[in-house]
Homo-oligomer: A and B are copies of this chain.
């Protein structure tokens, strides 16, 4: 099965959580919009899907994944679809609902992280909502970031398998997402994270363990990994960061 991932070019964004799963599994996939136009790529390939009002299962927004005839959207839903197919989901039903529940909590955290620099509207520039962003960042760093990271650290602690993974005793897609969360927050809020990480040693260890996996390490060193930048979810505005 060749998977087709559709996501904006130029940013990691929400697509990155899917890329990490495909890369870890060594899956056969194409990142469609990043192909040259001569090979059917470019953002027009993506827009054709989003604008086809006759399509039975039209996505609201990227990322979406085409797998044969199935088109699946919403990051956590894509991961839930891919998990068993790529060997990145636990076996039992209860554990699968739990893994997805954690991924949806990651989704919530990602949305809140994005809104730190865009508290008023995604359609406005950061510069047009800078004052509001500062207020939101203060609350985010004081309350929300410690609450989410503390929760995820607690999940590691309470996992009866005690192997350092979020669910059961082996790697699942939500571990890959936790890597991305830690990496992204370090880029966006280096001061706040230096402090927060003292209380979340399990997450730091999980980040390092994921980064050292051969396929992930190769991916991170490759041009397929887009660098963090000022257009994605995790953006570094020094004025929003603080110890």
Contact = CB atoms under 8 A, between A and B. Distances in A.
Interface string A47-80: 0000001111111100000000110111011001
A99 to B, nearest CB: 10
Given A121-B139, A124-B139, A132-B132, A158 B77 contact: no
Given A72-B97, A104-B76, A136 B121 contact: yes
Interface residues of A, number: 48
A167 to B, nearest CB: 9
A154 B57 CA distance: 10
SS class, residues of chain A in contact with chain B: helix
Contacts of A98: 57
A101 interface: yes
A157 B53 contact: yes
Contacts of A94: 57, 69-70
Interface string A112-149: 00010001110110000100100110011001000010
Interface of A: 53-60, 69-70, 72-74, 76-77, 80-81, 94, 97-98, 100-101, 104-105, 107-108, 111, 115, 119-121, 123-124, 129, 132, 135-136, 139-140, 143, 148, 151, 154-155, 157-160
